[in-house]
């Protein structure tokens, strides 16, 4: 007889453990258990069957893997948590006795310090793993760097987040690793490429933040503690690869004056030689690989010579492989109807030379911090701003003749509404009256900087002039798909055949309907007014209808009845019906007071449009019939899959058509306004 298994010793009951059981097994409190799980990267799991995984009759909601909890039993942080708990008991006992000095001494000298270095090394065995997990870390640290200090968020945490994020930004500036950025509703998205890894993070706008009480800041502070340690390790590794000293020199007084990035001074190897050091490492690796390949090729040549084979083709292959160029290849589609291939990003040299020859001045209303970071990341070394925005500027004088571009975020106002500027005292920087333009300088709005770096080239500055309607700011990560709406392309390139004519007809029909409804409403009001007058004349008594009205209504009903001839309608009848509807539209337009065409060129154009619409409809009908024939030959599974694909494509095409019609109306309105 087989041995009976005991319940809860195998299957899901053995693989999963509840949170209460895990806390009891580790002998720590629930907040410490949460902190430990965040540090170690252990998260709740969802079993397939909660009833089988739960060992009690009451349904549990939170489960963990038993192996994960078993792994936590050997964590050195458990002893630290227990030491903290014992110290808290001693401090509470001293305070209960009134020994305040002993309590402060215990807290100051005997508090255990938590170090997460071993956890970072354990969770990220290679540096590439740490770079891949840097997206959420940067987003959270930049968020806390912009928060105001409060009881939940201490000033030390905010200062630490600001410091490690500025250090990371300095590395991106030095190596020109920033590639793309996008202004969204949530904040500013950035993307950088470090050692072949694309890292994207979000930086909130610098508005006044209101710290709400519905957010658990204890959990977020635990993540911040872990992420600051992680980013510190990453910054140290990145700086050491460039030969720079870490941490960089930090000027506290300059930081208090609002210098931010300028408060840091990089030391070690010359900052300008950092990209050269990266290229030197690549060249050494390349030469070593070439030496190895030459040794292998020499051995292969000996074998070929001993075999007596011709090696001209092999020489050509080797020569072609040895030729290497640093230029980025451009991928072109093989056929015009093929999909557009994703193009590679900018190289470091191209990014570092985009804004290098220019001198920028940031006006007071423009966001200084993101503009300074982006301009410096793309090669600009001389950036000035007003002294109110803080220290670290190339110049505080707006009238400096070296300035080539000025970033302005306010429209041009009339001179009468501009305030007067008082005379500058001796030694003070000369100020410029707001709204005035210095000749020989290019004035642009901040969006010009973002669009230039996303396009990888300098765009026309006149399109981004102060007060001008800006072009659409598009996300650099959303690529146009076939059949979708592309805001960069013109309407003629992406609209279907006859789409514009059909849209114009529908618009004209809507205008006619609106005009007729207005006319009917006016006539109804007039008839109501006349009936009120008749009632006043007749003393409020109803007047009986005559037999002529009844006979007229019967005749109208007889005229409306068309019999059963509609089933065998021919093309001539269709033409008569079209002419009748055209005549009806002309009568409605005449009644509404709108211009109409009784014949001539306008009538011919309307006939051509209607004929073209009929051709398009017949073509679509034939395509649908052909598709139905093809679906009959498919299996049921493939037919269902095809129907889903057709449905999704149709939905996408309808959305694209709506966007195109909206754009068509806007362009039509702009042309009408220009006229």
CB 35 within 8 A of CB 42: no
Q: Is the pLDDT of residue 253 over 70?
A: yes
Torsion of CA 463, 469, 473, 479, to 10 degrees: -80
How many degrees, rounded to 5, is the angle at CA 637 between CA 636 and CA 638? 95
Q: How far apart are CA 65 and CA 67, in angstroms?
A: 5
pLDDT, tens digit, 9 for 90 and up, residues 567-602: 444 555 666 777 777 777 777 776 666 655 544 455
Backbone angles phi, psi at 500, to 5 degrees: -65, -40
Q: How far apart are CA 223 and CA 137, in angstroms?
A: 8
- Average pLDDT, integer, range 114-128: 93
Pairing mode of beta strands 405-407, 360-362:
parallel
Q: How far apart are CA 298 and CA 174, in angstroms?
A: 41
CB 361 within 8 A of CB 432: no
For residue 264, what are the β-bridge partners? 250
What's the pLDDT score for residue 70? 92
Q: How far apart are CA 614 and CA 505, in angstroms?
A: 13
| 12 CB-near residues (< 8 Å, 6+ apart) | 47, 48, 49, 52, 53
H helical segments located in 367-424: 368-377
How many degrees, rounded to 5, is the angle at CA 299 between CA 293 and CA 301? 100
- Average pLDDT, integer, range 78-96: 90
For residue 63, what are the β-bridge partners? 18, 45
Q: How far apart are CA 354 and CA 357, in angstroms?
A: 8
Q: How far apart are CA 96 and CA 490, in angstroms?
A: 78
Q: How far apart are CA 658 and CA 507, in angstroms?
A: 13
Which of these ranges, 207-221, 323-337, 356-370, has the smallest mean pLDDT? 323-337
Alpha carbon distance, N-terminus to C-terminus of the chain = 98
Pairing mode of beta strands 360-362, 383-385:
parallel
Q: Is the pLDDT of residue 318 over 50?
A: no
What's the pLDDT score for residue 586? 75
Q: How far apart are CA 653 and CA 668, in angstroms?
A: 22
- Average pLDDT, integer, range 261-290: 62
CATH for the stretch 350-413+435-478: 3.40.50.10190
Write down the residue that tokens 């510190």 correspond to. Answer: 232
What's the pLDDT score for residue 238? 95
| 78 CB-near residues (< 8 Å, 6+ apart) | 26, 28, 36, 72
CB 448 within 8 A of CB 461: yes
Q: How far apart are CA 380 and CA 373, in angstroms?
A: 10
What's the pLDDT score for residue 340? 59
Q: Is the pLDDT of residue 255 over 50?
A: yes
What's the pLDDT score for residue 574? 63
Residue 298: band (very low, low, confident or very high) from pLDDT cuts 50, 70, 90? low
Residue 485: band (very low, low, confident or very high) from pLDDT cuts 50, 70, 90? confident
Q: Where are the domains of the chain?
A: 12-109, 117-269, 275-318, 350-413+435-478
Q: Is the pLDDT of residue 15 over 80?
A: yes
Q: How far apart are CA 170 and CA 331, in angstroms?
A: 33
Q: How far apart are CA 119 and CA 76, in angstroms?
A: 10
pLDDT, tens digit, 9 for 90 and up, residues 133-188: 999 999 999 999 999 988 888 999 999 999 999 999 999 999 999 999 999 999 99
Q: How far apart are CA 26 and CA 520, in angstroms?
A: 81
pLDDT, tens digit, 9 for 90 and up, residues 526-581: 666 666 555 555 554 444 444 445 445 445 444 444 444 444 445 556 667 777 77
**Whole-model pTM?**
0.72
pLDDT, tens digit, 9 for 90 and up, residues 463-483: 999 988 898 898 998 877 777
CB 219 within 8 A of CB 38: yes
Q: How far apart are CA 23 and CA 34, in angstroms?
A: 10
Q: How far apart are CA 184 and CA 205, in angstroms?
A: 10
CA 149 and chain centroid, separation: 29
Q: Is the pLDDT of residue 227 over 50?
A: yes
Q: Which residue has the higher pLDDT, 541 or 255?
A: 255
DSSP 45: B
- Indicate the average pLDDT of the chain: 78
- Compute the chain's Rg from CA coordinates: 38
pLDDT, tens digit, 9 for 90 and up, residues 638-673: 888 988 888 888 888 888 888 888 888 887 777 666
What's the pLDDT score for residue 427? 55
What's the pLDDT score for residue 160? 95
Q: Which residue has the higher pLDDT, 40 or 273?
A: 40
Which of these ranges, 153-157, 283-287, 344-348, has the smallest mean pLDDT? 283-287
pLDDT, tens digit, 9 for 90 and up, residues 375-418: 999 999 999 999 899 998 989 888 888 999 999 998 777 666 66
């Amino acid at each position: 007889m087989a041995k009976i298994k005991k319940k809860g010793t195998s299957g899901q009951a053995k693989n999963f453990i509840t949170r209460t059981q895990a806390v009891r097994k580790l002998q720590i409190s629930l907040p410490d258990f949460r902190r430990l799980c965040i540090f170690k990267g252990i998260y709740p799991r969802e079993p397939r069957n909660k009833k089988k995984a739960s060992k009690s009759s009451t349904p549990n909601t939170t489960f963990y893997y038993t192996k994960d909890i078993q792994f936590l039993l050997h964590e050195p942080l458990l002893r630290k948590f227990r030491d903290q708990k014992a110290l808290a008991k001693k401090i509470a006992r001293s305070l209960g006795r009134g020994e305040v000095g002993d309590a402060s001494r215990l807290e100051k000298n005997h508090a255990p310090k938590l170090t997460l270095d071993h956890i970072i090394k354990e969770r990220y065995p290679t540096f590439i793993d740490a770079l891949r997990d840097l997206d959420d870390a940067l987003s959270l640290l930049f968020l806390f760097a912009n928060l105001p200090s409060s009881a939940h968020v201490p000033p030390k945490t905010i200062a630490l987040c600001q410091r490690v994020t500025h250090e990371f930004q300095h590395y991106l500036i030095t190596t020109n690793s920033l590639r793309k950025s996008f202004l969204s509703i949530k904040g500013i998205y950035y993307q950088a490429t470090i050692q072949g890894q694309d890292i994207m993070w979000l930086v909130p706008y610098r508005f006044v933040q209101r710290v709400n009480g519905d957010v658990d800041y204890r959990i977020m502070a635990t993540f911040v503690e872990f992420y600051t340690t992680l980013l510190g390790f990453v910054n140290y590794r990145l700086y050491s690869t460039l030969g720079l000293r870490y941490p960089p020199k930090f000027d506290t007084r300059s930081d208090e004056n609002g210098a931010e990035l300028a408060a840091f001074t990089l030391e070690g190897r010359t900052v300008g030689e950092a990209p050269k050091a990266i290229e030197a490492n690549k060249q050494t690796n390349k030469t070593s690989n070439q030496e190895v390949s030459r040794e292998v090729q020499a051995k292969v040549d000996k074998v070929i010579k001993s075999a007596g084979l011709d090696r001209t083709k092999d020489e050509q292959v080797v020569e072609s492989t040895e030729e290497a160029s640093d230029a980025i290849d451009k991928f072109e589609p093989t056929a015009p109807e093929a999909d557009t291939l994703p193009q590679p990003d900018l190289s470091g040299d191209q990014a570092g030379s985009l804004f290098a020859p220019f001198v920028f001045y940031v006006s007071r209303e423009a966001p200084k911090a993101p503009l300074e970071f982006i301009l410096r990341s793309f090669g600009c070394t001389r950036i000035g701003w007003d002294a109110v925005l803080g220290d670290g500027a190339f110049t505080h004088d707006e009238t400096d003749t070296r300035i080539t571009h000025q970033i302005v975020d306010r429209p041009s106002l009339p001179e009468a509404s501009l305030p007067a500027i008082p005379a500058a005292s001796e030694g003070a920087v000369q100020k410029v009256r707001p709204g005035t333009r210095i000749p020989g300088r290019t004035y642009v709005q901040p969006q010009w900087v973002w669009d230039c770096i996303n396009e990888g080239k300098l765009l026309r500055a006149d399109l981004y002039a102060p007060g001008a309607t800006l072009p659409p700011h598009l996300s650099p990560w959303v690529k146009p798909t076939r059949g979708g709406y592309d805001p960069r392309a013109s309407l003629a390139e992406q609209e279907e055949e006859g789409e514009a004519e059909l849209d114009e007809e529908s618009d004209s029909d809507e205008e006619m309907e609106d005009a007729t409804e207005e006319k009917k409403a006016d006539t109804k009001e007039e008839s109501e007014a006349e009936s009120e007058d008749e009632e006043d004349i007749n003393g409020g008594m109803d007047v009986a209808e005559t037999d002529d009205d009844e006979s007229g209504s019967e005749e109208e009903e007889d005229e409306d009845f068309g019999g059963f001839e509609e089933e065998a309608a021919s093309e001539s009848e269709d033409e008569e019906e079209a002419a009748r509807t055209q005549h009806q539209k002309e009568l409605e337009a005449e009644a509404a007071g709108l211009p109409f065409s009784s014949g001539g060129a306008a009538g011919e154009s309307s006939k051509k449009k209607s004929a073209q619409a009929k051709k398009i409809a017949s073509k679509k009908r034939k395509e649908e019939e052909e598709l139905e024939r093809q679906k009959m030959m498919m299996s049921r599974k493939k037919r269902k899959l095809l129907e889903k694909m057709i449905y999704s494509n149709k939905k996408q095409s309808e959305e694209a058509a709506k966007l195109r019609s909206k754009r068509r109306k806007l362009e039509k309105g702009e042309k009408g306004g220009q006229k």
